[in-house]
Structure formats: C-alpha cells, structure tokens
Structure 1
Amino acid sequence: MAVSVKLEEKAKLVDGVEQGPYRAVSEAMEVIPRTLVQNCGGNAIKTLTQLRAKHAAGEHSFGIDGEAGKVVGMKDYGV
C-alpha cells in the first residue's frame, strides 16, 4: 500500500496522459491487500480506505491481518 500511495501522489504532480501509468500501477499494487481482505470475508472497500488513510498520513507500518482481514500495525506482528 505504501508504494501505491506514493505512486498516486506522483500521478497528481504529472500533467495529462502521463498520469495514466502511475495510476495504473498504483491500482495494481492494491490487489494484494484487497485479496487478503476478501479472502478473510471482510469489507474490502472500507478496509482499504482505512489502510490508504493510514499510509497517506505517513503511518507506513500498517497492513492487513491475513486472518482477520483488519488494518493492523505490522510492527506488532514482527513484520
């Protein structure tokens, strides 16, 4: 998610069609956390929005718990 957020920020700094590749890769990078949430039966939209907000606020150590499908601090899990 950290890579996705940074690419989205970069896309906002670029004009015109040059934004396209940045946005495409940004969306592609969200597939992994989205899949984790969906496999856990969680609400992907709500959870990814929470995770994106954490990363946009500079809290890059947050991720998805692969068992519960919730946003958690990865440092607490030893990652």
Structure 2
Amino acid sequence: EERKISGEDMIFVEECSGAKSVTLFVRGSTKHIVDEIVRAIEDAIGVVAATVEDDKVVAGGGAPEIAMAKKLKDYAESISGREQLAVNAFAEALEIVPKTLAENAGLDSIDSLVDLRAAQEDSYYMGLDVFTGEVADMKEAGVIEPKRVKKQAIQSASEAAEMILRIDDVIASTKGPEDMGMDPSAMGGMPPMM
C-alpha cells in the first residue's frame, strides 16, 4: 500500500506471514528527538541481542548490586588495613545503584536499602519494585537484565574510578612543597629560585 506521510510517498508491506525483517518508522518534532529515539531503540535491540546470544540474565531492581555489596562487606571483615577500606568503599559504591533507583522512583532511599538488605537474607532475587515501592522477587516479576550488560557496567565504572585515582596521584605528585603548605627551606638544600 502506498501512503503519504509528511509529504513523502511511502510503500507499506504489512501482515506478511513469516517475515524475516521489519521496519520501525520513527517520527519526532525535531531531528534531535528523532536521533535520541533511534539511539534508544538501537540500545534496546543491542540489549535483547546480548541476552539472546549469552542466554544469561540477572535479576533487576538493584538485586545484584545489593547481593554483591553484601558479599564484599562479608569479605572485608576477613581482611585488614587499607584493603578492607577499599573493599568496603567498593561495596558502598555498588549500593548507589539501588539507592538511585529508589530516589528516582520517589521513594526513601535509606528505607529502601534497609528493606533490600533484609529481604536478600532469604533470596538474591529480591529487588525494588518501583511501581509499588515494595521489595519483591524480581525473577517472578520478570524484571531481568542481561548479565553481559551488568558486568560491563560494573567493569566500566571500576575502570573510570581507577583512572580518576591515577590522575589524582599524578597531580598530587607534581605539587611542590609550597603547594602543600611546607616551607622549602626547612626541608634542607637550596630554596627554589624566584
């Protein structure tokens, strides 16, 4: 069938049995909006493709982050020193995901985290249902995420944090004694030339 859309003639072939491809017709008020819709569709298709290829998913609703944070905190108790602080900080960083999810849903983030932690004692599938504001079994609710996407997000966030720390170390090491509030003449040797 030929149809005119926005002044353009277009051919539509519809209701074909056994079709191997489809076309998504995207419209928007501006080119920017259309580009954003196309990007969102491509991301969604990519996530579905990753799920089908890997055939591995994890529960949504912040369930994996709470489970990983709990395991990390348990592990942190078995070590000491700076390593323990780093492991605890990583666990707290993971909890930002469900905390942000709760905040974006208009829920009290502290109460939601407490409820999630308590519910995870029974099942790792317990996550935050943003529609009811309650903790629910994400597997039963059908709220899942591809394992590959979750793994990549955690790895990328870790690498970004590590890069920031390295940059901070480089900046800190390039500061002179004057920048750190020290008197260079008290450190011995010749004072810097002005």
The 8 Å contact of residues 107 and 133 in structure 2, kept in 1 or not, is answered as: yes
5+ long unaligned stretches in structure 2: 1-65, 145-194
Q: Which residue of 1 aligns with 2:110?
A: 45
Q: Which residue of 2 aligns with 1:72?
A: 136
Distance 1:66 1:35, change over 3 A: same
Q: What secondary structure sits across from 1:13 in the alignment?
A: coil
Q: What secondary structure sits across from 1:42 in the alignment?
A: coil
Q: Return the alpha-carbon distance in structure 1 between the equivalents of residues 109 and 127 of structure 2.
A: 13
Distance 1:7 1:58, change over 3 A: farther
Distance 1:11 1:3, change over 3 A: same
Cα deviations by residue, 1:15-36 (Å, 9 ceiling, x for unpaired): 2222011111100101110011
Q: When you count helix as a share of all residues, which structure comes out higher?
A: 1
- Using the TM superposition, give the Cα deviation of residue 43 of structure 1 relative to its aligned residue in structure 2, in angstroms: 1.0
Aligned residues: 78
5+ long unaligned stretches in structure 1: none
Q: Which residue of 2 aligns with 1:10?
A: 75
Distance 1:14 1:58, change over 3 A: farther
Cα deviations by residue, 1:23-67 (Å, 9 ceiling, x for unpaired): 111001011100110011111111100101222x24101111233
TM-score scaled by length of structure 2: 0.38
Counting aligned pairs with the same residue, the percent is 36
Q: CA RMSD in A?
A: 1.4
TM-score scaled by length of structure 1: 0.86
Q: RCO (CA 8 Å, sep 6+): is it higher in 1 or 2?
A: 1
